[in-house]
Chain A
Amino acid sequence: AQSVAQPEDQVNVAEGNPLTVKCTYSVSGNPYLFWYVQYPNRGLQFLLKYITGDNLVKGSYGFEAEFNKSQTSFHLKKPSALVSDSALYFCAVRAPSSGSARQLTFGSGTQLTVLP
């Protein structure tokens, strides 16, 4: 079975500072990894994904994530945080062997607060 861990429920960072939101995963085979963001009273918004190729993936709004196979991690990063980045962030994984279903398994979410 596949699983995702987001070890931090809450991350606080000052505006302008770099931010990191951590994610580790467990899956059989090569993982498909995703980051989504949820703003209050809104749906999940796709940020970026890793399927194969370059370990550093760039996504929307200046976010990027680094896939590390040996550490089974997929941490989300941004060089300079904005107050508007404050939201709930979800990491998700799916196994390549999940057939045509391809459902995602989500982590518990990390609340990011960027302080002005």
Chain B
Amino acid sequence: DSGVTQTPKHLITATGQRVTLRCSPRSGDLSVYWYQQSLDQGLQFLIQYYNGEERAKGNILERFSAQQFPDLHSELNLSSLELGDSALYFCASRGLAGTEADTQYFGPGTRLTVL
């Protein structure tokens, strides 16, 4: 168990809908990363937050957005869903110092199925 939690585990929805994925980082970690894992694209970085501020954007669609709250949990919002958005969405948090610095610890993921 990495200490990173994600909810829900599974999400089934229809095209055109909007969903919210939630992530809680490990205790003490300030950084949260979101990744998408799909069969055709592999593992791709979406976006990163550090202590409430957006720090980097990767291959994130305009229909997707995220935020990090004062308690450091993060939410990834996916709107106008398309069939191709079906994927595993992972959250990771990064250690601050010592041997854990620079290491990202991943949550169990949320499997999104768009029908």
Contact A108 B42 (CB under 8 A): yes
What are the residues of chain B within 8 A of A98 when measuring CB–CB? 56
What are the residues of chain B within 8 A of A109 when measuring CB–CB? 42-43
Overall SS of chain A's interface? loop
Stretch at the interface among B13-21, B69-77, B79-87, B103-111: B103-111
Contact B48 A103 (CB under 8 A): yes
What are the residues of chain A within 8 A of B106 when measuring CB–CB? 36, 43-46
Contact A46 B55 (CB under 8 A): no
What are the residues of chain B within 8 A of A101 when measuring CB–CB? 48, 55-56
What are the residues of chain A within 8 A of B2 when measuring CB–CB? 43, 45-46
**Is B58 at the interface (CB under 8 A from chain A)?**
yes
Contact B42 A46 (CB under 8 A): no
What are the residues of chain B within 8 A of A36 when measuring CB–CB? 106
* A90-B43, A109-B42 as given contacts; A100 in contact with B50, CB under 8 Å: yes
Contact A103 B102 (CB under 8 A): no
**Is B22 at the interface (CB under 8 A from chain A)?**
no
Partner-A contacts on B (CB < 8 A): 2, 4, 31, 33, 42-45, 48, 50, 55-56, 58, 90, 92, 94, 102-109
Partner-B contacts on A (CB < 8 A): 32, 34, 36, 42-46, 49, 51, 90, 94, 98-109
